[in-house]
Amino acid sequence: MRWLFLALAVWGTVHPMWYFISWFQENTWSIMAMVDAWHANDAASGLVWDLTIAAVALTIWVIWESVTTRRWAGLLAVPATFCIGVSCGLPLYLFLRMGRS
């Protein structure tokens, strides 16, 4: 199961990044232009907020569990979540967490 989570973390990195890079190449390399695109309509805004709330919840969980267990490797999931996305951060954290035998 642990290796399945690692595979999902890799997929959660590569697949979304392919779309982001494609968008940047077709439009502009402006982060603010991408943020504007994320709010192009109510459906897109809803998805952005859904993922933002999930990222905050995951971050709180990771920090709390890392501090209480003093197992710091899980903190790698925080930058992965905000620099790549929840699709990478969550399975990466589960992969790291399952290695704590």
pLDDT tens column, 11-30: 999 999 999 999 999 998 99
The DSSP call for residue 101 is -
Number of domains, the chain? 1
The DSSP call for residue 52 is H
Helices 31-38 and 2-26, interaxial angle, to 10°? 110
The Cα angle at residue 81 between residues 20 and 39, in degrees rounded to 5:
50
> Is a pLDDT exceeding 80 seen at residue 100?
no
Mean pLDDT of 49-76: 97
pLDDT tens column, 25-59: 999 899 999 999 999 999 999 999 999 999 999 99
What per-residue confidence (pLDDT) applies to 57? Answer: 98
pTM check: above 0.85:
yes
Mean pLDDT of the chain: 95
> Is a pLDDT exceeding 90 seen at residue 4?
yes
The whole domain housing 77 covers 2-98
What per-residue confidence (pLDDT) applies to 6? Answer: 97
